[in-house]
Amino acid sequence: MWSDVSDRAAYLRAAAQLRGNPGQWAAYEARGHCVVLAGPGSGKTKTLTTKMARMLTEDVHAPRGIACITYNNECARELEDRLAALGVLHDKRVFIGTVHSFSLTQIILPYAQAAGLGLPMSFGIARRAEQQAALLEALGRTNIPQNLEFRLNNYRRAYLNRDTPEWREADPNLAALIERYEAGLRRRGLIDFDDMPLLAVRALRSNQWLQRALLAKYPILVVDEYQDLGSALHRMVMGLCFRTGMRLFAVGDVDQSIYGFTGARPDLLRRLSERADVQTVRLRLNYRSGTRIVSASRVALAEERDFEAANADMQGAVFIHSMAGNYENQAVRVVRDLLPQAFIRHPGLNLGDVAVLYPAAWIGDAIADAAQAAGIAFIRTDGNALYPRSSRLMQWLEICAQWCCGGWRSGDPRFARILRGGERLFGESLKSDQRRLEFHRLLISVLWGQRDEGLRLHYWLDQLITQVIQPFGNSCALLRDELETLATFAARLSKAGDQRHMVLSELAGNGTHLSRLTLSTLHSAKGREFGLVFMFGLDNGRLPRNDADHDQRAEARRLFYVGLTRAKQEVHLLHTTGRTSPFVSEIEQHLAAE
């Protein structure tokens, strides 16, 4: 597990840095169930990873380990990197992944037959087209009504126990449709994404021996971003931690719960933190943002909070801009006027320190067009990005690219990290030592021969696909969607594609391409930080929507709060003249009072 004997003290050095913060130190010292309520910029990831390193060293002895569940693959990757910096390698003792990955790899795949889940001996993960085919068959028609899939998935997540009367009584037609759809998937030997936690909960509820088996492997369960993970994960936590005996260490923030459309429920974290058998710790110091930004963020929540900036000398600034014209005209003003003016105020910053955030991906198209016309390099992390940021395969390719663009010389990333990531991705086809060694040999050969940041990305990727990814990935059922994503991206890099001029360093984010403006939806920006933040398109009707109910309006307010707290030095709130979001109006009144 440890990368080097000398690294065993790394977490102790990191722990010493927690002593000056009472909340962080209390979390580090906690011995029983612990919930850490961590505000923006409060050092929650540092606290969580230092605590994990300590528990792996002092509390859990090999071969037992720790399972860490987090919201998405990007979060998992960050935790792996942070733990590696503390000397903790991601091996069989440590699971780090999403609730879907945990459900599939730790429960469904090893125990499906013994747990009586009714799955065939060999099953696959349904591609998008296969899901739609099963749904059309269940509907008995040739088209899928708008929003039906959204309603269907929400209903599945809402009723975890189908033995209760509520499953059929709440919406009999939808319940029957779901059962026909799932039966269609099973006839095809498939499960879908939402099946994973649902089947895992069913298996755990029906088999106490399975709960004990997981306890034997993982005596401690760590959960990151608890507020985003929904009812299925909460049901697992209740059973595994408060009935079976796993120790819980959970981190989250009710105020940053912004994924209600995927089933996230902030009330579950609140209820968990109020349990008498749980030690609850609050992290209230914001190490990221200046004092004026923190003050504005308290107003944004419209609820009393005692958050403070850790550095009282860093004031920060909040600007509000009333923008005339359509989004295209406004975007030109951002790129032509506001961005250069901000750089004059902060000459030490570059494009890589700046983000433009917006409520929906289509709004970002205006900024992308304006930046491209001005010759400004940018990267999109929204729904219109070159590829989904959540793709495990694409994340691994980014690391491979970084190694080829100088990482082989600097040791960042280490090649061992690339190998471990590849083994996790292609594990289904690496069952023997010979097969694993062949994978290592081919990967080393391909990457070593392509260490050139100016290499055309199409050529680099084609070599990796033909020599490594296809030979080892085509037999991996769990990579079917990932390989489709890769094929779509590769087509855009081909001679006829719109990204045919991309070079390797652009995938790596290295060299001259490191300084790029980030364009992101507010949702996709969660967990990130930037020196300068421009919140674009903050119009009434966009945030919140005109038809928002009470819960949706509350979530829109939290989304606004998340965007505001991404900023370190400056945050700019931009709205169309005459269409100001009420959230912006509240900040404007606050600034006037100051």
User: Is residue 383 a known part of a binding site?
Assistant: no
User: Is residue 42 a known part of a binding site?
Assistant: yes
Tokens of 46: 């540092």
* CA 176 – CA 170 distance, rounded (Å): 11
**Contacts (Cβ under 8 Å, ≥6 apart) of 33:** 241, 242, 247, 248, 249, 275, 277, 278, 279
User: Is residue 112 a known part of a binding site?
Assistant: no
Q: How many CB atoms lie within 10 A of CB 147?
A: 9
C-beta of residue 551 within 8 angstroms of C-beta of residue 260 = yes
User: Is residue 537 a known part of a binding site?
Assistant: no
- State whether the Cα torsion 264-270-275-280 is positive or negative: positive
CA-closest candidate to residue 288, choices 568, 48, 572: 568
Q: Bridge partners of 319?
A: 572
C-beta of residue 216 within 8 angstroms of C-beta of residue 247 = no
**Contacts (Cβ under 8 Å, ≥6 apart) of 194:** 153, 156, 157
DSSP state of 541: B
Tokens of 432: 């023997």
Q: Look-up: residue for tokens 């060694």?
A: 437
- Please, where are the H alpha helices in 86-243? 99-102, 109-111, 128-139, 148-158, 166-169, 172-187, 195-206, 208-217, 230-239
DSSP state of 413: S
User: Is residue 41 a known part of a binding site?
Assistant: yes
User: Is residue 189 a known part of a binding site?
Assistant: no
C-beta of residue 535 within 8 angstroms of C-beta of residue 572 = yes
C-beta of residue 69 within 8 angstroms of C-beta of residue 233 = yes
User: Is residue 38 a known part of a binding site?
Assistant: yes
User: Is residue 184 a known part of a binding site?
Assistant: no
Binding-site residue numbers are: 38-45
Binding-site residues for ATP, in ranges, read: 38-45
